[in-house]
Structures are given as structure tokens and as C-alpha cells.
Amino acid sequence: MSRQAADVYFRDTSGPRKRPNLGSKTQSSRRIYYQTHETLLEGLLHQGLAPMTDRLKLEMKVSIFSLGILEYWTEFPDLMEFYRLFLGTTVIKTIFGSALLSLHPNFVQDLWDFDGVVMSLAKRLPIFCVPRTYRLRRKLLQCIKRWHTYARTHSAGHESVGNQDDDPYWGCKMIRDRYMALCGTEGQDHDSVASTDLAFIWSTVTNVVPSAMALLIHTLGDPSVFLEVQQAVARATESRSQLRFDMKKLEQEPLLLSLYAETLRYGVQIYIPRHSPHQAVTIGDRTIPSDKVLIFNTWLAHTDKAVWNTKSGTYPVEKFWARRFIIDPKDPSSGPCQDQYKIKSDPAFDADNSSQIRYSTEGLQGAWIPYGGGHHACPGRLLAKRIMLLSCAAMITMFDIELMTGSNKPEFGPSRFGLGVQVPTTKVPFRIRKRQHTATCPLGAE
């Protein structure tokens, strides 16, 4: 991205809301944060979420059936590598469409190769020190620019009709609108928009894919948990042979949701920046001067022993606990947070309200922040949740899977603390076979 294009981002102090921040002098034609944030909110949280979820279900099914896993055991050297290609392809096709990968079949692998060396860019190492990093970035940018040109040329005159969100060239209305908004912002050009899209694709894929893989590992790692999750998924299954699930029911299963939330608590290690360019901000008894940057670390919040319930040290915050976010009305010591943080108005804490266990994040405001918070919270948080839940449901419905790590559970480590999610410190070998009840054709009749 040129210095001129980057300067538009640096100088936009108007904020992501429709009404600019008080004191901002950013011209409306240069409000790049508002333009991009609005399209993401609309496409990922509002009207675009339902059709995005439908595409996710379809692409997940196609990817699963395309794996070619048969009824006999097949061994693979690494579950992370398996997920990178399988789920990485699914995510890109869901959000950005199939045209990008049709034009560049190796894009997903190139993206993961880039991810493996991207920290050298964060360290601002020059090209002669890390030529491969710059070469991979240049290759990915060329792929994206070619896709942009193809989509721009072929989508001329194409408009979504009614609630139709799919776009055969851009993937969906959100991506097309986002491209138009960026190109329409003063100071931006095709090169800068390609750079912005690379950042968007990279951050989306390389965060949700390892998180989804970790959810599956934690599910498989405890036989009792796995059995309960398998039963929960069965309750939300509309058709096993067609790999069709009721997403609403999946999102109501307490243990599955607790596993999801604990996977993010345990695994997400990012810095969340906040900046008030024109006014001082008072937090408690401290005042932060204007135009200063605040940095919040999720790991510190996610391991705050004063907030999180450890059942008197039985389940320390440094360890994974599948049932951490479950409230059991019959167990006063259950729940994610310490007693002083429990919100008594929450029906989940009312033992007389129900005898059923419940999933809850009440009392964790500011303590469970894998997506940030407030108006700046990640717009893709609901889609990420559905990707994680659906991929786990699909894998344990379609396949028998066994981790081949012996008696040792996979260890997770912060390979780039503060800039991503925890991943296994070593390869996770596994074996897999198709379950007998499943069909061989994703489009066949039951």
C-alpha cells in the first residue's frame, strides 16, 4: 500500500459510527473506517448473516464430501494441516466466493505459507533479510488484484434481487459493496484495496481455522465430553446423510457452547487497541489523555483469577475446562465466574427457575473478550461462532476420528503471543474413517 493510501487510515479520526467523533475534521470522502465498518456490520451481523450461514452450510458439506474419506482407517500426520486446507477453503468460498480459488487454486496453501512467515513483517525486517515473505505477499496481492479485475469486469450490471445475497463473482453483496466503498474513498486505488483485502482474508482465515480445530481437539480429548457432544449434535441434526443441521438448535446446546467459549478463552491471545483522538477518557480513577493509544491484552483478562471460577483450584485458569461456562442449578459452585461477579438476576443462577443446566457468560463483562467489545467488537463474531460449531458437528457426524498422541493430550502454545490464537506446539497425528450411516454424494437423496 502506498504511503498516500495508508495516510487515509492514519488521518481518519472520525470513528466507525454514522455521526463523526466530536472534534474530528475528517472529510466525508475520506471516512474509510465508517465506510468499511458499516458494510461489515450489514454483511456479517445484520441482513447478510442468514445467507452467509446458508453458504457456510453448503460449502461445509461440499468440502466434507470432497475429502474422499472412506470406511477404513486412514492416518494423517497433522490435524492442523488437515484443517488448514479443508476449513480454509470452506471459509474463503463462504465469504469471498469460488471465483478467487478458481482463478488461483493454490491460494489457500499460499496464504498459510505466508502466515508462517508474516511475523517478519510485524518486525519490519527489510526485504533482503526475508525475501520469501515479501515474495509470498506480492504473489497473494497479485492473485487478489486479478480476482478484483475479473469480478469487476464480469459483475457489471449484476445486482442482487430481493434478499438474494450471493454474487457469483464477489462471493456476496458485502464483499462487492466493500470493494466499491473502498474504491470510492479518496486516496485509495486498486493496489491499496488489494492490500486491505489481503489483510481481511488473512485475519479471517488464520484465526477461525485454528480455533475450530482446537474446539475439535478439546472435544475429542475427553471421552465423556465427546459422548455428550455427539448426543447434542444428534439432537440438532436434520439429516445425517445430507449433513444438514438446525443451527438454532446447535446454538442452544450448553456443553457445545461452553466448549466454544472455553476454546476462545483459552486460545485467543490478542491485543485490543483503543484510541480517543480528541477527548480525554476517564476509566475508574484514571484519566487517559486524548490522542493516546490504550492496549488491552485478552490473555490477562482471560486468566484473571479474581474473576474466573476455578472450583477452588480444581480447574485453574491456565488449563482448559470444558464445562467452565455451564451453570448447574443443583451445584452452587458451578458457573464461569467467582460468586461476587455473578449476576443474580440472570435466570441461570436461579435454582428454582429450572433444573436444566445452562450456558452463561453473565458476569464476565470485560473478562471474556475474544472479539473485543462495544461498537468496535469484531463484526464477524457470530459467523466465527457458527463456523466453529458447524465444523465440529460435521466432523463428528461424518467421521470417526482418533487422535494418535498416546496418553498425552496435545499441548497449545503462544507461538506469536498477542497477535493470534494458540496452536498446538507439535503436530497432532490422527486417524479418520467415514461413519457407516453417511452417504457418498452431498446432493443425493436420503
The model's confidence at residue 286, banded by pLDDT at 50, 70 and 90, is confident
What digits encode the pLDDT tens for the residues 164-181? 788 899 999 999 999 999
C-alpha cell at 207: 484465526
Mapped onto helix, strand or coil, the DSSP state of residue 220 is: helix
Nearest to 92 by CA among 110, 116, 117, 80: 110
Which whole number is the average pLDDT over 406-411?
86
Q: pLDDT > 90: what percent of the chain?
A: 68
pLDDT top residue among 439 and 237: 237
Average of per-residue pLDDT values in the chain:
90
Q: Tell whether the model's pLDDT for residue 383 goes beyond 50.
A: yes
d(CA 45, CA 365): 20
Half-sphere exposure of residue 173, counting CA atoms within 13 Å on the CB side? 21
Position 443 pLDDT exceeds 60: no
Higher-scoring residue by pLDDT: 3, 160: 3
CA–CA gap between residue 410 and residue 424 (Å, rounded): 6
Tell me which H or E stretch contains 171. Answer: strand 171-172
Examine the pLDDT at 98 and tell me if it is beyond 50. Answer: yes
pLDDT of 257 strictly over 70: yes
Amino acid 345: pLDDT = 54
Which residues have C-beta within 8 Å of that of residue 253, sequence separation ≥ 6?
A: 229, 232, 233, 235, 236
Query: In the structure, what pLDDT confidence band is assigned to residue 274 with cuts at 50, 70 and 90?
Result: confident
- Count of other CB atoms within 10 angstroms of residue 295: 10
Residue recorded with cell 444438514: 244
Is 262 in contact with 254 (CB distance < 8 Å)?
A: no
Closest by Cα among 2, 352, 368 to 193: 2
pLDDT of residue 161: 43
pLDDT of 342 reads: 78
Residue 353 has pLDDT above 60, yes or no: no
Q: Where are the beta strands (DSSP E) in 387-444?
A: 399-403, 412-413, 419-421, 423-424, 430-434
Report which of residues 16 and 80 the model is more confident about: 80
Please report which confidence band the pLDDT of residue 441 belongs to, taking 50, 70 and 90 as the band edges.
very low
Asked whether the beta carbons of 169 and 214 are under 8 A apart, the reply is no
**Which among 371, 381, 350 has a CA at the least distance from the CA of 296?**
371
- Compute the average pLDDT of residues 326-353: 76
Task: Give the mean model confidence (pLDDT) for residues 375-380.
Answer: 90
For 34-58, what is the mean pLDDT?
93
CA 233 – CA 394 distance, rounded (Å): 9
Indicate the pLDDT class of residue 346, thresholds 50, 70 and 90: low
Q: Give the pLDDT mean for 225-230.
A: 96
Question: Residue 162 pLDDT > 70, yes or no?
Answer: no
User: What does the DSSP 8-state code read for residue 112?
Assistant: H
Least confident of 13-17, 164-168, 287-291: 164-168
Question: Can you give the pLDDT at residue 354?
Answer: 61
The yes-or-no verdict on residue 145 having pLDDT over 90 is: yes
The arithmetic mean of pLDDT across residues 289-316, rounded, is 92
pLDDT value of residue 445: 30
Residue 182 pLDDT greater than 80, yes or no: yes
Angle between the 381-398 and 49-66 helix axes, to the nearest 10 degrees?
30
Contacts with 191 (C-beta within 8 Å, 6 or more apart), sequence order: 1, 2, 5, 141, 145
